[in-house]
Amino acid sequence: MLKPSVVTALTLAFAFSACGGDDGGPSKSEFIEDADAICSEASDRAEELARQGFSDPQNPTPEEVLAIVEQLIPLQRETTADMRALDKPEGEEDEIDSLLNQADVATDRAEQEIDTPQEAVAVVQASDTPQDPFYEVNQAFAEYGFEECSE
């Protein structure tokens, strides 16, 4: 049985517009703020998918979990692409690109690990553990300063 916190972790795990700044583009904090807004919107969309996709959110079936995860993979790819499209702070481009590349690798890994309902449940239950495909990238995003994008 999946607990509500696991469902929330699932939606946040898959979940990741900069304002123009001075001559050098946005500041790091402006970039983080705008990227976190993208991740927050993606998280809201993921939670809505879960609400609509689970007949009993307190006890979703493995098949329902797989169906939601299969919808979250493209949402994660879209979120990463939206972040990639942001203007990056001058001098931070390589680090941000590296973080986004790590997110792509984690998404690919998650997609490869989830072929059956039982595998989807296992990945969800591993959320926020070293077995979570997004564990390391979430830590890297947190170290950079993201809040929403590191959950």
| Tens-place pLDDT, residues 14-57 | 543 333 344 568 999 999 999 999 999 999 999 999 889 988 88
| pLDDT for residue 58 | 85
pTM: 0.81
List residues bridging with 25 in a β-sheet: 22
Report the distance separating Cα 86 and Cα 88, nearest Å. Answer: 6
Q: Say if residue 89's pLDDT is above 90.
A: yes
Percent over 70 (pLDDT), the chain: 84
Does pLDDT of 3 surpass 70?
A: no
Q: CA dist 118 to 51, 64, 93, 94, 125, Å?
A: 20, 11, 39, 37, 10
Angle ∠(24,30,35) on CA atoms, nearest 5: 115
pLDDT, tens only, 118-146: 999 998 889 889 999 999 999 999 999 99
Share of the chain above pLDDT 90, in %: 68
Give 95 or 8, the one with higher predicted confidence: 95
Per-residue pLDDT at 1? 36
Q: Which domain holds residue 136?
A: 4-16+25-150
Total structural domains in the chain? 1
